[in-house]
């Protein structure tokens, strides 16, 4: 990502178990939600921390969790700050 706020940063690599990228079967609800299409994308998110004013921050979607009981998911986003 050598553009925008990442243009001055060096390349980065991260270890990843092959099970994280292996093909797997998903439910119709998970597929229809489109949540998996965000993995590997950059996102801009309003972040709010305890006792702090919300601010916009850029991050990269590194994965997601899916709950079949509620048919909803949570994106896993990595930020430059590591949080």
User: Over the stretch 10-46, which tens digit does the pLDDT of each residue have?
Assistant: 777 778 788 777 788 999 999 999 999 999 899 998 8
**For residue 34, is it left (φ>0), alpha (ψ between -120 and 50) or beta?**
left
User: Over the stretch 40-74, which tens digit does the pLDDT of each residue have?
Assistant: 899 998 878 788 888 888 899 989 999 999 999 99
Nearest to 5 by CA among 73, 60, 76, 63: 60
Give the separation between CA 78 and CA 19, rounded to whole angstroms: 19
């Amino acid at each position: 990502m050598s553009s925008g706020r990442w243009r001055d940063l060096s390349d980065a690599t991260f270890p990843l178990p092959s099970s994280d990228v292996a093909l797997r079967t998903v439910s119709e609800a998970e597929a229809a939600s489109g949540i998996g299409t965000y993995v590997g994308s950059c996102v801009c998110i309003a972040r709010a921390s305890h006792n702090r004013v919300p601010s916009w921050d850029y991050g990269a979607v590194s994965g997601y969790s899916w709950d079949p009981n509620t048919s909803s998911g949570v994106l896993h986003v990595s930020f430059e700050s590591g949080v």
